[in-house]
Amino acid sequence: MCGFIGFLSNNTHSKEHLVDIANRMLSPIEHRGPDSSGTWFDQNSCIILGHRRLSILDLSDGGKQPMQSKSKRFVIVYNGEVYNFKEIKKELDDVNYGLWQGSSDTEIILAAIEFWGIEKAVSKFIGMFSFALWDSEKELLHIVRDRMGIKPLYWSYQNGNFIFGSELKALMSFEKWNAEIDKNSLALFMKYKYVPCPATIFKNTFQLEAATILTLDKNKNIRKNKYWKLDDVARLGTLSNSSKNEYSENEILELINDAVKCRLVSDVPIGAFLSGGIDSSAVVALMQKNSISPINTFSIGFSIDAYDETIYSKKIANHLNTNHSEYILEPKDAISIIPELPRIYDEPFSDSSQIPTFLLSKLTSNSVKVALSGDGGDEVFAGYNRYIYADKFLDKFNSMPIWLQNSSKSIVHSISKDSWSSFFRFFPEKHVFSRSGEKLYKLASVIGKNNIDVYKTLISDWQFEDNLFIGNKIYNDLNFNSPSHFNESNSVEYMQLMDQTYYLPNDILTKVDRASMANSLEVRVPYLDHRIVETMWKLPRKYKINNGISKVLLRKILGKHLEPIKFNRAKRGFSIPISEWLRGPLKDWAESLLSEEVIRNHGLLNYETINKKWNEHQSGKKNWHGHIWNILMFNAWHEYWVDKR
């Protein structure tokens, strides 16, 4: 795992000047590759590539980057892992490609591109990656991102310079950087907690979309090509699963096992995140199955029992005999890391589980350089509560007469969220979701709505009509158009596709990538192996959700490896008690960022609207922690990256 930068300049600067710019861009992403660095420069084309290396495979100089192909035609800077590189190497050996200089996957990637061409080569790769490739023969620059958007890649075209890098902070280090905030991106962030790809918080600066090859020619013309289309995978899979009744479960489970097994290849120590939930437990069980020694596992817990799951992770670790470590998170830990969040997440990002994810990565990096996680399990195997809501309730509600729909909404909203939560405490835990009252309110609010409106309501905080933004601008929302093959009876599948397209890469994967790489830790996500994604789209819903039970296939894995342990408790997210902390240990910090002076100086948000929600939250009248955390993360980011520039 590494980080890279580069730019194609329109100026004929000296080599020394361009290398100096490259080094300034590499400096803020040193954490992505603390083991070594390097640059490559072509004077004639005025292109420079830079790389920071975290050595995982082939620890020798044979794996250093930037790396040239055997013919010297191609040069690459690359971030990620291609797990099937040995199989690709064998294909190349079978056609007598030639001798190898080292044993890294980078060399195999270059050879595959040289032999098959970039599109055919990339279609063979199983893994997570982003890279930049310079073709000196055709004077073409290609930048490429993996199918699911696991690894980040940013680009911008400013003052005739094409700039790119693994993190936004690298681009911000380019000379004469234009830091003008895109107000539409800000509005989207306030609504969804992240700035959605391809936008960024800055104007004229973009994220490269997943499964995309962007090509820049010598005349600075840009062309994009999708080499894999998730929407087509979902469409074809959904159409095919209606024509087949049964699937070989053993074949599917073996595919999941293979995805875990191939991610155990490493020349450095390896471990796993273990929350005690279904996703991570299944990963660890399969890791242990494929390992002759105890796997290193790591967990974060909380001093507040309602948020702590270490009792479950300990059970799994003891049953599988892993080498387990854990850390209990206290408010003081959050307070210590919060000032670092704007640096780590270099554009506004407000999933509050970023805090425990960072601390879990820090704990893990003390022992290993690589960790596997269960991220992607909810999106691929249908684990979110909203999928269960849709499967059990929405179709039934939407078939009721309008008067009955409206009456149901009125009944729910006539009782406070806290009262509903108290009421649900009398039910067995396995039947109750966390923050039940809050989620019941959201469920009631979407009765009678179509797929698009249901999804937007369930995943958003601030709305465009909330009088949050100064001025009367009409903001452009995400294009959540429902594909034609998803009708209202496909509500679960529609939500899965939207989550895999937007929420997964922009929130979950961004959170994990920045938190782990800030600690120089590589995190691998076996559930996002594209073979698994494609297979799961071909399966009928009963393999994912059946009679109110989610993740049916993963539970079968656990049944084979963790039979005595029952996974029948309510699902919990990797959340922190942010609502309570904002009224307690984080109150002073929050008030300093929510002051009238700070908000009015930015000239972007409406102070009265924010102050009202803050006062309601402090009084306990309402719980606005999600809305408030969005404001806090933006203001903290603005203070760090804009006010101080």
Q: Using one digit for the tens of pLDDT, what is the confidence trace for 52-81?
A: 987 666 566 667 899 999 899 999 999 999
Look at residue 489 in the predicted model and tell me its pLDDT.
67
8 A C-beta contact, residue 211 and residue 145: yes
Query: What backbone torsions phi and psi does residue 488 show, to the nearest 5 degrees?
Result: -65, -20
Helix (H) or strand (E) holding 223: strand 222-226
H, E, C per residue of 123-181: HHCCEEEEEEEEECCCCEEEEEECCCCCCCCEEEEECCEEEEECCHHHHHCCCCCCCCE
The average pLDDT across 500-505 equals 96
Which tens digit of pLDDT belongs to each residue from 256-275? 999 999 999 887 889 999 99
Look at residue 565 in the predicted model and tell me its pLDDT.
65
| Percent of the chain residues topping a pLDDT of 70 | 86
Kind of pairing between the strands at 370-372 and 522-524: parallel
pLDDT category, 568, cuts 50, 70, 90? low
Which tens digit of pLDDT belongs to each residue from 123-142? 999 999 999 999 999 999 99
Q: What residues does 67 pair with on adjacent strands?
A: 76
Encode burial over 330-341: b for 16+ CB neighbours within 10 A, e otherwise: ebebbeebbeeb
- CB atoms under 10 Å from CB of 98, counted, come to 12
Which is more confidently placed, 483 or 235?
235
Residues 244, 539: Cα–Cα separation, whole Å = 9
Q: Helices (DSSP H) in 15-167: which residue ranges? A: 15-26, 85-94, 105-116, 118-124
| Percent of the chain residues topping a pLDDT of 90 | 59
The answer for residues whose C-beta is within 8 angstroms of residue 465's C-beta and 6 or more apart is none
Burial class (CB in 10 A: 0-12, 13-18, 19+), 402: exposed
Q: Give the residue among 365, 137, 122, 141 at the shortest CA–CA distance from 226.
A: 122
Look at residue 639 in the predicted model and tell me its pLDDT.
95
Residues 309, 280: Cα–Cα separation, whole Å = 13
Q: What residues does 36 pair with on adjacent strands?
A: 53
Determine whether 2 is an active site residue: yes
Which tens digit of pLDDT belongs to each residue from 423-480? 666 555 544 455 566 666 666 776 767 778 778 888 888 988 889 998 867 788 888 7
Q: What domains does the chain contain, in order, with CATH numbers?
A: 2-228 (3.60.20.10), 239-330+349-381+502-561 (3.40.50.620), 385-494 (no CATH), 578-643 (no CATH)
Strand order in the sheet with 154-158: 36-42, 47-53, 2-8, 161-165, 154-158, 205-207
Look at residue 435 in the predicted model and tell me its pLDDT.
57
In DSSP notation, 494-548 reads HHHHHIIIIIIIIIIHHHHHHHHHTTT-EEE-GGG-HHHHHHHHHS-GGGT-BTT
Which of 2, 46, 197, 262 is catalytic? The answer is: 2
Which is more confidently placed, 488 or 132?
132
Q: How far apart are the first and last CA of the chain?
A: 30
Q: Give the residue among 405, 409, 411, 439 at the shortest CA–CA distance from 424.
A: 439
Sign of CA dihedral 454, 460, 465, 471: negative
| DSSP classification of residue 346 | S
Residues 351, 363: Cα–Cα separation, whole Å = 20
